[in-house]
Chain A
Amino acid sequence: MSRAATGAAPGKVILFGEHAVVYGRPAVAASLATGLGATVTPFPGGPELEVPGWDLHVRLDQKGSRFDAIARGFATALDAAGVQDRALKVTVDGELPPGVGLGSSAAFAVAVLRALGEWNHAPLTGEPLLAAAHAVETVFHGTPSGLDHTVIATGGCLRFERGAQTTFTPVPLARPVPAVVAWAPRKGSTRQAVAGLRVRHEALPAHFDRVFDAIGAVTEAGLQALASGDFDRLGQLFDLNHGLLNACGVSNVDNERMVAVAREAGAAGAKLTGAGLGGAVVAVTPLGADRVVEALQRAGYKAFQTRLGTGR
């Protein structure tokens, strides 16, 4: 049997500054050491896409199914990778859960594009990969911020700022951060979380601006802790950022419980990551990551051990 064409992409978490980024403050995101893998194999009836972990099986000729967005995203990826001969099947798998803010759709896009590029003997890297991933993400999300697919395609850790122009700057890391990621189902969409905060901000602009300033300052301090590899300090800053997100009203009961369980089990610090209203939390675990994972699982949540900011 010939070698298969394969590709993979990590998931991501936001380390600091979610929500505040909408109000002009900086944010920091990092890739995970785990993600999604894609394999392309010859398949006469293709193109076909299978994601066993998400219970997805898509034929491109399927119309009006619930897989419509996925099917269109897959078609966009085939076009962007310049695949002519479409007698193929793409299988995607991995432990990354969809829809909890860990960048699963961008990881899907980047992994599939990398595998298709290899299949096509024209590996996709650098700017062309970012552009293609952006096209796929646009199918999934309308107007993506670009943060997810940029940090996932680039790897490592990025500072992100929205202004007249969106900027991404690589963040120096002393070493990858040992971490635990846990998640619960979302109780509201990203759009709802952002809109809710906008309403609250409009009611009390001066108070919320002070909260966003505080998040901005925590983000800057976090960048220093990442550069020096001071994980205890990083944990304290996670706790601070989480408290401020709670003040913003985007943390729900699952976020609070997961953060409390992680801290109780010995994490150096923990915070929700992404839009909130459920979804994922991330904990810094320089020691005893096993205990933190166990405690979270015992509390009824899904959790895994990983490292943040690996790759380039």
Chain B
Amino acid sequence: MSDSRIPGFYTLGRAARHAELKARFALTDDELAALDGAHGLDFARADKMVENCIGVLGVPVGLGLNLTVNGQDYTVPMAVEEPSIIAAVSHIAKLVRPHGGFTADADDGLMITQVQVCDLPDLQRAAQALRDARPHLLARANATQPNMAARGGGAVDIEVRIFEAPHPMLVLHLLVDCVDAMGANAVNSMAEGVAPLVEDLTGGRVYLRILSNLADRRLARASFRVPEKALAGKGYTGAEVAEGMVQAWRFADVDPYRAATHNKGIMNGIDAVAVATGNDWRGVEAGAHAYAARDGRYTSLTRFWRAEGHLHGRIELPMAVGTVGGSTKVHPTIRVLRKILGIERATELAAVMAAVGLAQNAGAIKALATEGIQRGHMTLHARQVALAAGAEEHQVDEVARRLVQAGEIREAAARAVLAELEP
């Protein structure tokens, strides 16, 4: 695995950046050409991917640098149009790197696929019939996807859920280990494959047969800790920054209005990796937000706290991503980006994406916190300058406000403001 630090990467031009890629990731000239907007996805291939195709849309792709997860370095391609996202991830990754980097893990690739059964006079009895037929249902499901079993996956368990009023129905879950695939097509086929058997067993009628994006058996987790001292910057202490970040997290923890924005920031990073690796980012989004509301109240997907002189951060969220199948085979640029990332296992990708989301979030709240501190410091400084310029007690606030607004905190400017204020 290549070193994820490329000092001064941002100072290089395109040719020099591509030379770095060629050297570090053994990219061929064809692969480098696939990174050029004009030579990536062509119309003919795009036309096979969607209906009524009229063209392709370019999105910038950058590299998230400095990331260390579980002691291993990752250079992370991120496809996103918004500025500062890639910089924020790289900044936090660099900060965390000397202190052990990120620790992350992910569950096996268990997807849930649902079969909705209606028109049942006795829900309990139908539920029992399904539970009794568990091996039979699993065998039937796996028969529809024998290749998945050959890769070590397949349907491994069932769950039966009963809904009473207002809409009595029974929902069968098949729990399917998709191994390295996201698995949407496979699990949908399984649900379709068991539907006739489910109708036979329950006497009901099957309506929907489709995966759930609330992939809460496929969670990814990441955490880090840095000494607060490492957070110190020009004009503020590490403890101030840590407290500011924890306060920002507390806000998101208690208030859904803030949590929505806070989690959006997390997904800025995660979605960018999902897009760059050809994964279904809408599915990842849906899973994340549903999980954020799992206790009945929408809240933060991350958690930050201070302990023993360290700032700690942690994230946990569903991460239904794969390293095989999907658009990987079709999209030439995605193939190259996956080569740069160099991840074979879906669990490894999920863990790295969780780390990216946590880094993104930490970067965002650190910027908000330090901006607040800076503003506070600036106001404090402006008040002192105003007093030195001869402002009266009742004038100080207004003079300081105008100085901060003008961005020029000097005695001469303060005297000019005072002259305007005095009749």
Q: In the complex, what residues of B have CB within 8 A of residue A92's CB? A: 139
Q: Please report the number of residue pairs spanning A and B whose Cβ atoms sit closer than 8 angstroms.
A: 107
* Residue from the set B134, B143, B157 with the largest chain A CB neighbour count within 10 Å: B143
| Partner of A35 from B134, B146, B157 at Cβ < 8 Å | B146
The residue in chain A whose Cβ has the minimal distance to the Cβ of B190 is: A37
The residue in chain B whose Cβ has the minimal distance to the Cβ of A89 is: B135
Number of interface residues of B (CB under 8 A): 24
Cβ contact within 8 Å between A38 and B147: no
Report the minimal beta-carbon distance from B205 to chain A, rounded to whole angstroms.
21
B170 at the interface (CB under 8 A from A): no
The docked-state distance in angstroms from the alpha carbon of A310 to that of B140 is 19
The docked-state distance in angstroms from the alpha carbon of A6 to that of B149 is 8
The residue in chain A whose Cβ has the minimal distance to the Cβ of B140 is: A93
The docked-state distance in angstroms from the alpha carbon of A47 to that of B35 is 58
Residues in B134-181 with C-beta less than 8 Å from chain A: 134-136, 138-150, 152, 154-157, 175
Cβ contact within 8 Å between A41 and B140: no
Cβ contact within 8 Å between A311 and B135: no
The residue in chain B whose Cβ has the minimal distance to the Cβ of A91 is: B135
The docked-state distance in angstroms from the alpha carbon of A251 to that of B358 is 65
Cβ contact within 8 Å between A6 and B146: no
The docked-state distance in angstroms from the alpha carbon of A52 to that of B150 is 23
Known A1-B157, A4-B157, A6-B142; judge A91-B136 contact (CB<8 A). Answer: yes
Known A8-B149, A114-B149, A312-B150; judge A41-B135 contact (CB<8 A). Answer: yes
Known A37-B138, A94-B139; judge A8-B156 contact (CB<8 A). Answer: no
Q: In the complex, what residues of A have CB within 8 A of residue B145's CB? A: 8
The docked-state distance in angstroms from the alpha carbon of A168 to that of B94 is 53
The docked-state distance in angstroms from the alpha carbon of A10 to that of B148 is 10
| Partner of A3 from B140, B152, B156 at Cβ < 8 Å | B156
| Partner of A6 from B139, B144, B147, B197 at Cβ < 8 Å | B139
Report the minimal beta-carbon distance from A297 to chain B, rounded to whole angstroms.
15
* Residue from the set B135, B141, B156, B197 with the largest chain A CB neighbour count within 10 Å: B135
A15 at the interface (CB under 8 A from B): no
Residues in A85-113 with C-beta less than 8 Å from chain B: 89, 91-96, 107, 111
The docked-state distance in angstroms from the alpha carbon of A172 to that of B138 is 32
Cβ contact within 8 Å between B143 and A8: yes
The docked-state distance in angstroms from the alpha carbon of A29 to that of B148 is 20
| Partner of A4 from B135, B140, B147 at Cβ < 8 Å | B135
Known A1-B134, A37-B139; judge A6-B150 contact (CB<8 A). Answer: no
Q: In the complex, what residues of B have CB within 8 A of residue A41's CB? A: 134-135
A258 at the interface (CB under 8 A from B): no
Q: In the complex, what residues of B have CB within 8 A of residue A274's CB? A: none
Cβ contact within 8 Å between A4 and B146: no
Cβ contact within 8 Å between A8 and B136: no
Residues in B60-85 with C-beta less than 8 Å from chain A: none
Known A10-B147, A155-B150; judge A39-B157 contact (CB<8 A). Answer: no
Q: In the complex, what residues of B have CB within 8 A of residue A1's CB? A: 134, 157
Q: In the complex, what residues of B have CB within 8 A of residue A89's CB? A: 135
Encoded as 1 (CB less than 8 Å from any B CB) or 0, chain A from 63 to 76 comes to 00000000000000
- Taking Cβ atoms with an 8 Å cutoff, the residues of B that contact A are 134-136, 138-150, 152, 154-157, 175, 193, 197
Nearest 4 A/B pairs, CB to CB = A94-B143, A37-B142, A8-B149, A91-B135
